[in-house]
Amino acid sequence: MILGAALTVVANRFRRTNSHAKMEQRRLNLLRATARRKTTVRNAPRHRSIIRSRIPGAILLLLALALAGAAFLPRLVDLGRNWLPRPWTDLVRDWGHLSDVLLPGPDALLVGLAIAALGLLLMAVARKARRRGGLPSALANAGAQPSPGNIQPAPGSELAYALRSCKAAFAGVAVFSGVSNILMLTGAMFMLQVYDRVLPSRSVPTLIAMAILAGVLFVGQAVVDLVRGRIMTRIGVELDEAVGGRVFTAVSRLPLYIGHQGDGLQPQRDLDNVRIFLSSPGPSTLFDFPWMPFYLAIIWSLHPTLGITAICGAIVLVALTAATEVFTRKPMGAAVSTGVMRNGFAEASRRNAEVLAAMGMGNRLHDHWREASREYLMQQQHVSDIVGGFGSFARALRLMLQSAMLGIGAWLVIQGEATSGIIIAGSILAGRALAPVDLAIAHWRTFVAARQSWSRLSQVLARLPQDAQPMALPVPGSNLTVERMTIGAPGAQRIIVRGVEFSLDAGSVLGIIGPSGSGKSSLARGLVGAWRPLAGRVKLDGAALDQWSSERLGRHIGYLPQDVELFAGTVAANIARFDPGSDPKAIVAAARAAGVHQLIISFPNGYETQIGEGGTALSAGQRQRVALARALYRNPFLVVLDEPNSNLDMEGERALAEAILAIKARRGIVVIVAHRPNILTTVDFVLMMKEGQMHMFGTKQSVLSKLFPMQVNTEGLRPVSTSPQLPN
């Protein structure tokens, strides 16, 4: 009767909770109908996960009630006498002693644990009702990007901010961990009842009833652990969703700040390490640690001598865990650094596979990689030896402690201070109390790796703050101004370009010439904002480049680098700069401006032709012409071309010249870095670079007349003052 009434109350509560959630959902749907129209398909799986997450809670509530009902069942039915009902006179007499009814003899602990589990689960249900969806909703909020009206996390604190957004999910994991640890007592209590009740009474019905109850509780424990693991996995996924965009931006921007040093994909690997750790059994041990005193207290309640033995074993295991932390910190750091070096050799060999094969350098590069790999494996082996050694000692100590508990329990039974059931129950409880320490040592490598990844990733994100969104400026269309610009390569201490200054009006074409190593390509990178100047500024219509957001500035700049890089995808996507709202007419117009339209439509799939990673399906000349079309997409105001004719044939050079004249006709500005003089026929001004400094600047006629006095008139040459020369 009590169990049935409790089930009715819980069912009504769930019906009211679900009804309230449905009413709130309808209200939100009415308020956000327009906003949700575009994301219905994307949010449907998450909504189903919210519904599914309520099912385990209901199952666990029923299990807790079943445990409480089983604790009261022996008071109503005598299981030792063929399931005969107890006389009502006995029940009436027992009600006079309320404490004996609620906590009767050996069942006191079971009833107390059942009430504790029921209270925890009711708190979880109430929290879900207040938050209108509970843990999955918190997870959804963790992955959402903060709106402009919300507080933005400080650079470097994005990971902590994302985890704080999941605090409701972690609270749910803590609740499930508590229920799991309570249900872990099933085995010990079952053995205690078997030895102290079933064997003395030789009651088969009692044994069957207890076995059924224990089986149900074990299934409930499995469900709890399954749900807890799934929640942790989803927390890891939501962390990746919340921070993955920032990490990708950091990976793509990091070479602009430190150059191509080390493993450029290390931030992405660090995020994967943190996510994998959150999805592993390691974090679960952190939620199980607080329950160690709970188990030790139960062991102490069985007998103080057993409690003292278990506490001493726990102290030794905790000391082993601390020693594992101390001895693995330095080797793990060395292993990471050597791993980065090894991956760097492998990546360089992959990028230069043709050079290695053509000039027989493969074996020599292999020897360098092998040396780095040996160092990496040695550090990994050192870490494995330390963790494995401490783990072996911890497991041996735990088994030794369980045997000691059996021996001490047997001695207590001989002395008449304990029952035979305490022997087995104490051993099982001691093993369960110390299991989190054993698991923590076993997963210590992943924990240390995740902690180091967290630290490195936070430092990278702090170094590369998210781009600000300044006020949108008008579309530039008047002039380009360079004010005493000084440039150095990212991550290097050497200055490459110093003191460059000039101004160009709309419709001008500038040619930059000079010997190799004079800083021409570095100057081109500075003009488009790829390399930030160490001093001076580059301005479009009087506004410095840092007053534009990267996204808006890119709409007004076209850039063709010296080393052309295309991306895996279609020809159309590469020309459109992977703009999801690209206009096919603009794509075709850019291709026509670059003189590559006829070439593209000759491909089997035309503009939908897949070009492969890096554009490997195209020749060097075809890649350069497609990249030129990408630079001309949507008619940018400033177009910077770094040796655009290095891989072009005569037809390609003719198309390039026509494209430059078309930009000039529409009042754009073109800057060309050139080695071959035939492209200079289209320029208006020439900038001569020498040893990183301006050597000459003026009209084409004046500069070329100075360089080739027998061929060109020297009128109009303007001298340029130079600062002390620096080695390039």
Domain boundaries, the chain: 1-84+104-146+153-278, 281-442, 478-556+636-728, 564-634
Q: Classify residue 184 as exposed, middle or buried by CB count within 10 Å of its CB (0-12, 13-18, 19+).
A: buried
| Secondary structure (3-state) at 721 | coil
What whole-number distance in Å separates Cα of residue 629 and Cα of residue 33?
41
What whole-number distance in Å separates Cα of residue 500 and Cα of residue 639?
19
Quick one: how far is CA 397 from the chain centroid?
37
Domain 281-442 -> CATH class: mainly alpha
Q: At what angle do helices 204-253 and 158-165 cross, to 10 degrees?
A: 150
What whole-number distance in Å separates Cα of residue 528 and Cα of residue 639?
9
What whole-number distance in Å separates Cα of residue 82 and Cα of residue 199?
16
Distances (CA, A) of 239 to 228, 234, 463: 17, 8, 20
CB 496 within 8 A of CB 692: yes
Structure tokens at 1: 């009767």
Query: Taking the CA of residue 534 as centre, how many other CA atoms within 13 Å lie in the half-sphere pointing to its CB?
Result: 18
Residues 6+ apart with CB under 8 A from 609: 570, 571, 600, 603, 617
Cα-flanking dihedrals φ and ψ of residue 637, to 5°? -75, -45
| Secondary structure (3-state) at 480 | strand
What whole-number distance in Å separates Cα of residue 394 and Cα of residue 315?
11
Residues 6+ apart with CB under 8 A from 618: 566, 611, 626
DSSP structural state of residue 693: E
CB 668 within 8 A of CB 684: no
In this prediction, the residues of the chain whose per-residue pLDDT falls under 70 are 1-152, 259-264, 351, 709-728
What DSSP string describes 25-88? HHHHHHHTHHHHHTSHHHHHHHHHHHHHHHHHHHHHHHHHHHHHHHHHHHHHEETTTTTEEPPH
Which one, of 409, 192, 402, lies nearest residue 310 by Cα? 402
What DSSP string describes 508-571? -EEEEE-STTSSHHHHHHHHTTSS--SEEEEEETTEEGGGS-HHHHHHTEEEE-SS----SSBH
Domain 478-556+636-728 -> CATH class: alpha beta
Domain 564-634 -> CATH class: alpha beta
CB 637 within 8 A of CB 556: yes
Q: Residue 612: its pLDDT value, please?
A: 87
What whole-number distance in Å separates Cα of residue 309 and Cα of residue 300?
9
Q: Residue 538: its pLDDT value, please?
A: 95
Query: Taking the CA of residue 409 as centre, how many other CA atoms within 13 Å lie in the half-sphere pointing to its CB?
Result: 24
Which one, of 664, 668, 658, lies nearest residue 557 by Cα? 668
Element (H, E) at 509: strand 509-513
Longest CA span, the chain: 130
DSSP structural state of residue 680: G
Quick one: how far is CA 71 from the chain centroid?
47
| Secondary structure (3-state) at 510 | strand
Burial 559-598 (b: 16+ CB within 10 A, else e): bbbeebebeebbbbbbbbbeeeebeeebbbbbbbbbbbbe
Length of the chain: 728
Structure tokens at 166: 């999941």
Distances (CA, A) of 363 to 356, 491, 533, 534: 9, 30, 41, 41
CB 247 within 8 A of CB 156: no
Contacts from 581-587 at CB under 8 Å and sequence distance 24+? Answer: 586/633, 586/634, 587/633
What whole-number distance in Å separates Cα of residue 227 and Cα of residue 60?
11
Burial 140-152 (b: 16+ CB within 10 A, else e): bbbbeeeeeeeee
Q: Residue 332: its pLDDT value, please?
A: 76
Q: Classify residue 265 as exposed, middle or buried by CB count within 10 Å of its CB (0-12, 13-18, 19+).
A: middle
DSSP structural state of residue 627: H
| Secondary structure (3-state) at 140 | helix
Residues 6+ apart with CB under 8 A from 333: 452
Domain 478-556+636-728 matches domain 564-634 at the CATH topology level = yes
What whole-number distance in Å separates Cα of residue 170 and Cα of residue 164?
9
CB 65 within 8 A of CB 3: yes
Structure tokens at 320: 């082993």
pLDDT digits (tens, 9 = 90+) for 472-484: 888 999 999 999 9
CB 631 within 8 A of CB 558: yes
Residues 6+ apart with CB under 8 A from 709: none
Distance from the first to the final alpha carbon of the chain: 92
Which amino acid, 153? P
Parallel, antiparallel, or unpaired: how do β-strands 543-544 and 557-560 relate? unpaired
Contacts from 25-33 at CB under 8 Å and sequence distance 24+? Answer: 25/132
Entry pTM: 0.65
Per-residue 3-state assignment (H helix, E strand, C coil) for 401-463: HHHHHHHHHHHHHHCCCCCHHHHHHHHHHHHHHHHHHHHHHHCHHHHHHHHHHHHHHHHHHHH
Residues 6+ apart with CB under 8 A from 634: 555, 586, 590
| Secondary structure (3-state) at 389 | helix
CB 465 within 8 A of CB 456: no
